[in-house]
């Protein structure tokens, strides 16, 4: 984990690997982000059982992984609600190969679409912008693994990753349900 206690990709993937669960860390982050961006309520807590069903054949996640997922869930909420747009995709570092980062970005958008689909009902009215995002994400998830390690591809990767980040924020802005404030204005002036 980083100094400010934010979970990073390497730490998450290490936990997943030691807990012997077949999840890609980027996909897990994408699923949580997709759920939240599609309107999942902060007060709701059945996301853990959803993840058990989707990633662990209905079996409960290990205690350590469950704690990590809860931490990540809170961090995703916090970053999406931040007025400074601090939300970022949980992806491998720039030091990792472009092939690995491209695969991870594909896993992230695949996870996002899965989480979004788990939350959205078929009758939900989506704006044209959100429909376009979901279509684009499906195409990004299917990008070729045959990626050249050159500057042009590196630039394209960064542009696509930024598009995905901004698009997730757009979905949250349109469909997200921010937590209700527990503080009511009871002060008499």
**Per the domain annotation, does 107 fall within a domain?**
yes
Sign of CA dihedral 98, 166, 37, 88: positive
CATH number at residue 61: 1.20.120.740
As for how many domains the chain has, the answer is 1
Query: pLDDT band at residue 187, thresholds of 50, 70 and 90?
Result: very low
So what's the pLDDT on residue 5?
61
Residues 38-77: pLDDT tens digits?
A: 999 888 889 999 998 888 887 888 899 999 999 999 999 9
The residue segments making up the domain with residue 167 are: 9-175
Residue 21: C-alpha distances to residues 13, 64, 103, 172, 180 (Å): 10, 12, 19, 28, 34
């Amino acid at each position: 984990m980083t100094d400010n206690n934010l979970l990073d990709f390497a730490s998450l993937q290490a936990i997943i690997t030691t807990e012997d669960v077949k999840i890609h860390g980027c996909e897990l982050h994408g699923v949580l982000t997709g759920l939240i961006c599609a309107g999942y309520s902060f007060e709701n807590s059945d996301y853990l059982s959803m993840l058990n069903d989707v990633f662990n054949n209905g079996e409960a996640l290990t205690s350590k992984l469950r704690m990590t997922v809860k931490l990540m869930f809170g961090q995703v909420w916090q970053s999406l609600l931040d007025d400074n747009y601090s939300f970022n995709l949980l992806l491998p570092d720039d030091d990792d190969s472009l092939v690995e980062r491209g695969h991870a970005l594909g896993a992230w958008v695949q996870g996002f679409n899965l989480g979004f689909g788990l939350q959205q009902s078929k009758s939900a009215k989506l704006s044209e912008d959100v429909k376009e995002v979901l279509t684009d994400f499906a195409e990004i998830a299917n990008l070729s693994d045959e990626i050249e390690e050159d500057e042009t591809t590196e630039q394209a990767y960064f542009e696509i990753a930024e598009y995905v980040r901004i698009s997730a924020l757009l979905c949250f802005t349109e469909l997200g349900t921010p937590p209700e404030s527990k503080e009511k204005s009871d002060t008499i002036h």
